[in-house]
Chains A and B, each alone.
Chain A
């Protein structure tokens, strides 16, 4: 395998792993903040327990989002220094603003929310989770401004072989960024909705304790699933109109348009292969659309069933189906990303910098080392965390430690 292919695979695998966690974080943060608002305003004990249970899953998931995100930030400079050197002053500006405007505050306040439970005034504590949620949106927004620039570079000029930022406003208003932001936000809500519905359905099917808590949670999840799915699909439809011509041609499998794009690019940029891999583009898009279709057909009737009390309590086949749906939004997310990013190839910055030129001048051995290190550690992390997440979800609110005053477990003295 060529070094550049290894670098791409490394980026794809680590970004994919990161994104699985981010998607759920973004949606679940919103739901936790809403439920905590209800709990704080009404003082309802069941909503407080809901906040802690879903908050615990959110925190387990978030921790993985952070550690994989750390790698993402520095991987850009590690493996793709051609991009940083060429477009750092433009693309890097969006990343700089992401870290400072959004993530810095998000992370600081998340610490306050987790460890300040019972220590801060409850209204202040509520305000803290809202700050975490809104800065999470801001974080997603700036990352997608950076990504949108790669898809559709605007607001820059070329001086002495590197790009300069001339118009921050144009970069922020980039349709390739804005549409993606709303699409991802909708996808995150869909993910959180299906996770909440699926986990609640598991508990209702198993007839565990905390009936009331999971009935309410199921209604939140199912109630959100259909609007979130439709919103995401509607924005995605607009997104299809902002596709690069080559991506659109690859998606349509239109060989004539593809040939025309190739000829046009050769005329503009010199000889080379300028077409995205058609199979990947179509495969990604079809995966996303198929997952959407299934989610849509389940979410619609579920919204009606949710209104029937005996069904919420005891329609076990439906419960089982909702739980089985949990992986689908994640599949849709990854499919969508493959569609978006593969369709941009062979460009890193569309029509300005190719992926091959964006790569750092590193040896195959170096890339092999980082590939082995990242992929091994990430594989372990992802498996352990999904196992822990599933375990915490199965054990239910009884076992939640978030927001609890930890009691010192009687420890066997001097065992080690």
Chain B
């Protein structure tokens, strides 16, 4: 059961946050002017908070249920995790601060932070997942990392195609073409889930001793957490029509 809980939150993070990270990576491609970029950000704005929280939850599950794996995975990839965290912080800061000043120079800086942070996240996830999956170290480790980063970007495009209108939508549709937007998104989401499961199979998933207390609590919470998230998805299910608060 512990493994199910870990997989649930970790895969949830990859599939959900993978999409908004991908959109962040392709921000300059999807939005050519400052105004267009603001609309592209509006496509992920209501979701990114609720998406990244899946990783916070994964961290919590690791801390409580898999303390050994936690220290092996995180301390074992110390510098990489530091880069991942900094990318995450820089990206979020860019998203939060972009709309605070009406100045185009400021917004360009923030866009830069979103793009750099998103690439940093995708590549450091790529390195981390790639190292666990393939065991490749050294310069060649860049190859699996690039594959994973490309998956982030593809997933982001698929998500953007579902959320945008007009010219940015046309750019996002480059990937899906005539294949159907929902089907393309389902495909990239499945690819993420498969990568996640494969990585999981390579990890030493030996649970700690807190399961007896924590597992029933977490299982009871999961429907509530999913319902809260589903409410957000339902509320913001329509394509974006204009800029949002960010």
Contacts and interface: CB of A to CB of B under 8 A. Distances in A.
B190 interface: no
Contact of B228 (A71, A109, A360): A109
Interface string B92-103: 110011011110
Contacts of B60: 73, 92, 95-100
Contacts of A97: 60, 64, 214, 217
B245 interface: yes
Contacts, number: 225
A90 B208 CA distance: 10
Interface stretch (B49-57, B139-147, B180-188, B194-202): B49-57
Interface in B13-71: 33-35, 45-50, 52-53, 56-57, 59-65, 67-68, 70-71
A388 interface: yes
Contacts of B172: none
Interface in A70-123: 70-71, 73-74, 76-78, 81, 84-85, 88-101, 103-105, 107-112, 114-117, 119-120
Contacts of B35: 408-409, 411
A414 interface: yes
Interface of A: 60, 63, 66-68, 70-71, 73-74, 76-78, 81, 84-85, 88-101, 103-105, 107-112, 114-117, 119-120, 159, 162, 164-165, 168, 360-362, 366, 369-370, 373-374, 377, 381, 384, 388, 392, 401-402, 404, 406, 408-409, 411-416
A411 B34 contact: yes
Contact of B56 (A99, A109, A168, A381): A99
B1 interface: no
Given A381-B89, A401-B245, A411-B33, A92 B210 contact: yes
Contacts of B97: 63, 384, 388
A109 B227 CA distance: 11
A168 B232 contact: no
Contacts of B209: 89, 159, 162, 164-165
Contacts of A94: 64
B166 to A, nearest CB: 13
Contact of A89 (B79, B90, B208): B208
A112 B231 contact: yes
Closest 5 CB pairs of A and B: A88-B67, A96-B64, A99-B60, A81-B71, A92-B63
A274 to B, nearest CB: 26
A77 B74 contact: yes
A406 B242 contact: yes
Nearest to A412: B104
B43 to A, nearest CB: 12
A70 B89 contact: yes
Contacts of A165: 209-210, 213
Contact of B108 (A108, A366, A404, A416): A416
Contacts of A159: 209
Interface in B89-141: 89-90, 92-93, 96-97, 99-102, 104, 108
Contacts of B65: 92, 96
B85 interface: yes
A114 B245 contact: yes
A356 B218 CA distance: 33
Contacts of B179: none
Given A96-B65, A360-B71, 16 more contacts: A67-B88, A70-B85, A73-B63, A77-B70, A78-B81, A95-B63, A96-B64, A99-B61, A100-B60, A108-B228, A111-B49, A165-B210, A366-B78, A377-B89, A392-B100, A411-B104
B57 A100 contact: yes
B63 A66 contact: no
Contacts of B225: 100, 104-105, 108
Contact of A120 (B99, B235, B242): B235
A70 B56 contact: yes
